[in-house]
Chain A
Amino acid sequence: MDGIRSWFDYLSSRTDLVVETLLQTLAYVVTVTVAASIVSITVGVLTRHNALAKELSLSIASVFLTIPSLALFTIFIPIVGLGFAPSFIAMFLYALLPIMRNTVAGLDSVDSSVIESAKGMGLTPNQVLFKVQLPLAWPVILAGIRVSALLTVGISAIATLVAGGGLGDFIKSGLARLPLPNSLEAIWTGVILSLVLALAIDVVLRTVGRFSNPSGVRS
């Protein structure tokens, strides 16, 4: 109980810092998820008729996920320097695969008879894509976006190691000051706020899903 009270004391005495780092992490999550969604969905759509291109994009995206986070965060430092840029690039590369894979899977899963009948009604290929395939694939794509967003929350803690800010700052400063007072509180702040943020993002994206999924399609 004492631990929890002292943690709340710690939080309430630093609301500005908490809000600032929370917003930094949120900024990463939003920019990374939006950028990765645009790129991944575009790639998924463009490669939908070419099995080789599709597989190749997925393989490359999955290689990024293989590279350890500290390596991917630091590998671009010689080119772009420290701070937001290398962190953004690394998280962007990580976030590609879940969305791309789900876009491909979502488009593949659209019943070919539905596409056939849409063509039969005289819809152009673009109309088929935007009016039939993407709406039907959307629940699956959104699930991929959700995974990427949650992944980004977790990984963004590393950004602090390349001076990128975010909730990882609490963990880093706590670790540096161990075992001084408030060091443990700082570490818990970083971990717990990450989970809270993840939960909040999860709720938001599920709500988005509920309202944006075509009615009649169970998500």
Chain B
Amino acid sequence: MSTTNVVDNPETLPARRNQSVSQLDLIVIPVFFVLLAILLTVVWIYSDFDGTTTSILEPDRLWTQAQEQITVALWSTVLVIVLAIPLGILVTREGAPRLKNNLVTVLGLGQALPAYGLLVLFFVAFGQGTLTVVLALAAFALLPVLRNTIVGLEQVDKSVIEAGKGMGLNGFQRLRKIELPLAVPVIMGGIRTATIINVGMATLAYLIGGGGLGITIAAGLKLNRPVTILVGALLVALIALAFDFIGGLAQRYLRPKGLS
């Protein structure tokens, strides 16, 4: 699963590298997008489609699957934001340091949780359907946003908070006017990662009847149609790159002015 921005270990590295969007990201991602799009076009035009392939790769069908995939990913991202940011704020308030440290350790190990297994367990628990997929995705993508919220709030210069306190800002004002704005770049990094995880995991939704472009890839695998596999995989990759690009733009332009 993609964890573009949350790979460093908070115990050894400062989180600041989470904050900045490399200039090059916004160039390299479109370059890859264009290359893969050209590859897709070439495959589409120059491959011989037999009857099965043609019916699997019906454009209307692909469009529906893409929409399913994106819808599921977006809903789950919204759910993650609504759950993880308040939770992250809660555990970073004074008086809960133990909870926070344990949480960060657990979240680190959570990267080893097989998304595939989690999805299937949610299926067992909640049955088939879009809601199950959204919940499973949210459970998995919760980790980076929660972790980045914690790290983002923790990395705010203590002297700035101290100065705010010294000027008579109360706890809520300090959170709203100082801590959250200064944590935005890191939190945005987490949301971007979560979005990418969700788009990626939504490809597996087909396993539990959740639709998405995974259907096309799986059909290609089952019926041994490499072209179908390739088209499905490329479409999924293009969607993910597009989302990553949008996330990169958001991360870049939503960061408060004045931060270096």
Interface residues of A, Cβ cutoff 8 Å to B: 55-56, 58-60, 62-63, 65-72, 74-75, 77-78, 97-98, 101-102, 105, 139-140, 143-144, 146-147, 150-151, 153-158, 161-162, 167-168, 171, 174-175, 178, 184, 187-188, 190-191, 194-195, 197-199, 202, 219
CB < 8 Å: which of B17, B123, B237 contacts A175? B123
List residues of B (108-126) whose CB comes within 8 Å of A's CBs: 108-109, 111-118, 120-121, 123-124
Q: Is there contact, CB below 8 Å, between A151 and B3?
A: yes
CB < 8 Å: which of A59, A65, A150, A171 contacts B2? A65
- Residues in B neighbouring A202, C-beta threshold 8 A: 109
State A68–B243 Cα separation when bound (angstroms).
Answer: 12
Interface residues of B, Cβ cutoff 8 Å to A: 1-4, 7-9, 11-13, 17, 22-25, 27-29, 32, 108-109, 111-118, 120-121, 123-124, 196, 199-204, 207-208, 214, 217-218, 220-221, 226-227, 229-230, 232-234, 236-237, 240-241, 244
Q: Which residue of B lies closest to A60 (CB)?
A: B28
Q: Majority SS of interface residues in chain B?
A: helix
- Residues in B neighbouring A174, C-beta threshold 8 A: 120
Q: Is there contact, CB below 8 Å, between A105 and B8?
A: yes
- Residues in A neighbouring B13, C-beta threshold 8 A: 102, 105, 140, 143
CB < 8 Å: which of B7, B109, B116 contacts A157? B116
Instruction: List 10 A–B pairs whose Cβ atoms lie within 8 Å, in order of A's numbering.
Output: A55-B23, A69-B115, A71-B200, A74-B221, A102-B13, A150-B112, A157-B114, A187-B117, A194-B112, A202-B109
Known: A59-B24, A144-B7, A178-B124. A67 touches B237 (CB 8 A): yes
- Residues in B neighbouring A144, C-beta threshold 8 A: 7-9
A196 to chain B, nearest CB (A): 10
Q: Which residue of A lies closest to B28 (CB)?
A: A59
- Residues in B neighbouring A219, C-beta threshold 8 A: 12
- Residues in A neighbouring B23, C-beta threshold 8 A: 55
- Residues in A neighbouring B227, C-beta threshold 8 A: 78
Q: Which residue of B lies closest to A168 (CB)?
A: B116
